Structure 1
Amino acid sequence: MVYNADFNPDLEHHVNVSNDYLFSAGFERYQRCLKDLDAPVWDEVRQTLAEYRPDVLGVTVKTQNYHSALQVARLAKQQNPDCFVIFGGPHPTMAGEESLEDPVVDMTVLAEGENTLVEILQTLSNSETPEFGAIAGIIYRGPDGLVRTPARGNHDNLDDFPNPIEALPEVLKDFDVYPANALARIFATRGCPYQCTFCGSVSMWTRKVRFRSPQNVVGEIKALLARGATHVHFEDDTFGVKKSYIRELCALIAQECPGLSWSCEITVQLADDENLRNMRAAGCHQVTLGIESGDDEMLKRIKKNITTEQAVAAVERCRKHDITPYVFLMFGFPEEDEKSIRGTLDIIPRLNSPSICFSVFTPYPGSQLFEQCKSWGMIDDKMDYSRFNHQSPDNHFSRNLSKETLDLHLHEAIRRIDRQEARVAKRMRRERGLRLLREQGGFAALRWALSGVARRLAPRPAE
């Protein structure tokens, strides 16, 4: 059984959460609920564990949710002390033996887990005293302490893996209440060739990029469309990676899936006219660009291999091809200073983006900057990962700026982003009205304008 504890079927009433809330009251509420297993947020998890009473519990763990995963494991062990708990995913892969410091975790799977998990389950089911030493790519508790087996090589042919949507009706809890678009998340590749110093993806996937065939990807998209999906998001670290692959995949999507709407993350380097033209023709309507800093020297330090002018130009090219550009920005890097932060603040109004996801640098295990922060004495071996994520008010890993100074810049950045997003959204609504007027005539434009008036006059929910 597959259980997604974060799923909320009431998507129509989803509320966007502001940066300001995440960096303040929202973070403190999260901390309270995380520590209190009697908090209502854990009720459904506890109920699900009681309903299924699993003999084996596998949890996908990112660094941000490591402590949440430990709480889930504790709940499982409370109900069934013999439950065998396996952690997998990015954090166990990057943190290694540290992920088993808490005794509620029995084993971790390193890097890709599809083949590894099958071997683990076969071993558990075939013996009352299982021996795990022959299984590559795991860390487990042996009689004399932790045992790390030899690394498992990645599976080269990604087309060998089954299409998830085919199995989900049988294994996903509450499958029938998931909206079709909620499951429309696709990986076309694994691996990222770039070397951003704040990213730990290389530990999970390596820098070697493996590609699913365009036919295999389109086959999954068709299965999602048959279930009623109208939009697909590509979860790849970097969509396409190679121009030839982007060209071939987009051509097949356009041919086999007409009318599909999709989005992805892409690098500034790949956001050129040819790629964007092919992507738009295949139905891409939104991309997210990882720009991160508005200072050229800082971009060099974190190995983004772009300049601010290239970043601004990439945003404009997206708009030229009628693709909405979202943007990632970040500051608080260890060698950040007043000049580099000012550059990031100043680039905000130059980015014609209706959505800027703003983060404060967090050192994640497996990244180059994590090791540098350790060498500079900024973090120790007992780092509390629950207190540090991209929207944590506790983040302070800067050698040149005090926490108070960084906080002042943070709140200025949030104010600038709020103003910029409102300004761009207003302009986009106006442009949409003009486009309707050109394409469909005055009645369509009038209907669009009246819908905007209705939204503004609608009663607001009580606070």
Structure 2
Amino acid sequence: MRICLLIPVPDREMIFVQQPVEALYAATILAEAGHDPSIVDTRVEDPVLDRPELIFLITQTYDLTQCNSISLNNAAALVTQVRREHPGVPIVAVGMHASLEPEMTKRDLGVDASLPGELEASIPWFVAAYTEDVAALTGPLDAAPQTVDPATLPVPDYSLIDVARYWSEVIDPATGELSNSTNGLLFANRGCPYTCSYCFVWFGAKIRRREPAQVVAEMRAQLEHGVRDFFFLDYTFTIVPTWVRELCDLIRAEGLDVRWLCQTRVERVNPELLATMKAAGCMGIYYGVESPWIAEVELDKPSSRELIEKAIRDTAAAGIHPLVFILFGAENGDPEKARELYDFLAGLPGTFLPSVLLPRPFTGLWSRHTAGQPKPTTWAEYDRIATRLRDEMSGRPEVARVHEEILRLPNFIGNVPKPEVRTS
């Protein structure tokens, strides 16, 4: 069966375009089962579909689920276009939106079905059921498997995409300079046991790991396609230090000439572990700092300023570039706090990436601010409520002016020179 995995442009600014790792895994599994899958990623190419018999619309790629697009305007427009060009071909919505609000997602998009679950598990299950009986399209889909064991996944077939079209931050090992360039995405550990109230974790609290040998095999497969720089999507990469050491030792034993970035918490690093990571090609670490006084606000993240600053110092001392996520809005409208944030970031021995504190649906922060209110009936309504709450929490004009000053700092990632990204 000719099956298309279709990815719309998200309803948000794209500051990077990562490989669609979920589509790669799912398509590779489908190919192994004898089907003819294709990936059409409209973030990097025109929506040209080659005579599909079944279409899966991926409303949100895995790399954006934490900071997801709440609304589905672009996805709905793409469905309309595909319906016009390929009438009669079934379209099934998959991913985060279909899992959280299946009927709402089906209705908002005008698709034939809304399939919950992680794509690598749910898509092959549905294709098998649909191949046996097309009535599966209109039947109940709540029996679909919801999660996958990452250790059971194959090494993706990277020939299904043009790897040169995917990019994000890379760090030059010779100069230490940060820029944007071709990058591969690795997703080795799913889940996060922490419960920050602003953070949406679709993959659950339980840590599910890919074996280090499997990760190295994915690196090697991408090296064959010319990819040398990687980003680990794992929400807390260093959550299991023994796993990290095993992976780093294997990278070195295999002699892989790779460079990579990851993300973790300041509580989960130490100088010894950082040295091990550096020796295996780690060039930068994103820390979810959010604000230097994050432990003092009601966001359920007890990371002390002392620990934040120590982790940043230790990271820089190890020769790894510190990168920090920052949440505008954590100042609670206090201009003095905003100025304190400016001073903290101006003295940062690394780069920062800010976003605005947004209560996202299905987070603790959302529940806290919408308690007792009627449940939204569309994703657009979810988006309107979240936007209103964000604006209410964003603070006074004096704070906004300091934010504008912060965005002019040379170590804001938006001010880092970016070479032209190669597309072919």
Name the CA distance, whole Å, in 1 between partners of 2:207 and 2:44.
41
Give the one of 271, 280, 283 matched to 2:281. 283
In the other structure, the counterpart of 2:90 is 84
Report if aligned partners of 1:55, 1:82 keep a CA contact under 8 Å in 2. Answer: no
2:313 aligns with 316
Cα deviation, residue 42, structure 1: 10
Give per-residue Cα distances to partners, 1:60-113, cap 9 Å, x unaligned.
223416221121111111223322222222233233432122251222232312
Of residues 371, 374, 386, the one that matches 1:375 is 371
Q: Which has the larger radius of gyration?
A: 1
Q: Match for 1:243 among 241, 244, 247?
A: 241
CA–CA distance in structure 2, aligned partners of residues 193 and 127 of structure 1: 39
2:64 is matched with which residue? none
CA drift at 1:381: 4.5
Give the aligned partner of residue 110 of structure 1: 116
Aligned with residue 154 of structure 1, among 147, 164, 167: 147
* Larger strand fraction of residues: 2
Structure 2 spans left out of the alignment, 5+ residues: 17-41, 61-67, 168-180, 420-424
Distance between the aligned counterparts of 1:283 and 1:401, measured in 2?
38
Show the 5 A alignment for 1:253-402.
253-299=251-297, 301-332=298-329, 341=338, 343-353=340-350, 355-375=351-371, 380-382=376-378, 384=380, 396-397=389-390
1:422 positional shift: 7.4
**2:362 is matched by which residue type in structure 1?**
G
**How many angstroms does 1:209 deviate by?**
0.2
Secondary structure, counterpart of 2:308 in structure 1: helix
1:213 to 211, 214, 217: 211
Give the aligned CA root-mean-square deviation in angstroms.
3.7
TM-score by length of 1: 0.68
The farther-off stretch of 260-269 and 101-110 is 101-110
C-alpha distance after superposition, 1:402-452 (max 9, x if no partner): 6xx1x54234223224225179x99xx9xxxxxxxxxxxxxxxxxxxxxxx
Distance in 2 of aligned mates of 1:315 and 1:342: 20
The DSSP-based 3-state class of the residue aligned with 1:101 is helix
CA–CA distance in structure 2, aligned partners of residues 162 and 321 of structure 1: 34
C-alpha separation in 1, matches of 2:266 and 2:313: 11
Q: Secondary structure in 2 aligned to 1:329?
A: strand
Q: Write out per-residue CA displacement over residues 259-303 of structure 1, whole angstroms, 9 at most, x where no aligned residue.
A: 32111112111232122111101110111111112324545x212
Q: Distance in 2 between matches of 1:385 and 1:267?
A: 33
CA contact (8 A) 1:58 1:85 kept: yes
Inter-partner Cα distance in structure 2 for 1:220 and 1:161: 11
Whole-angstrom distance in 2 between the partners of 1:369 and 1:322: 36
The correspondence for 2:402, drawn from 385, 395, 412, is: 412
CA distance in 2, matches of 1:84, 1:196: 38
**Amino acid corresponding to residue 253 of structure 2 in structure 1:** Q
Query: Is the counterpart of residue 222 in structure 1 residue 253 in structure 2?
Result: no
Do the aligned partners of residues 343 and 176 (structure 1) sit closer, same or farther apart at CA in structure 2, a change above 3 Å counting?
Answer: closer
TM-score normalized by structure 2?
Answer: 0.74
1:59 to partner: Cα distance: 2.1
Which consecutive unaligned segments of at least 5 residues does structure 1 have?
8-14, 18-40, 133-140, 430-454, 456-463
- In the superposition, relative to structure 1, how do residues 148 and 3 fare at CA in structure 2: closer, same or farther (>3 Å)? closer
Distance 1:100 1:276 in 2: 46
Structure 2: how far apart are the matches of 1:287 and 1:395? 32
Cα distance in 2 between the residues matched to 1:249 and 1:43: 31
Residues of 1 paired with 2:136 and 2:378: CA distance? 31
Q: Does 1:99 align with 2:105?
A: yes
Q: Is 1:197–1:369's contact at 8 Å kept on the other side of the alignment?
A: yes
Identify the residue that residue 191 of structure 1 maps to in structure 2: 191
Matches within 5 A, 1:113-152: 113-128=119-134, 130-131=135-136, 147=140, 149-150=142-143, 152=145
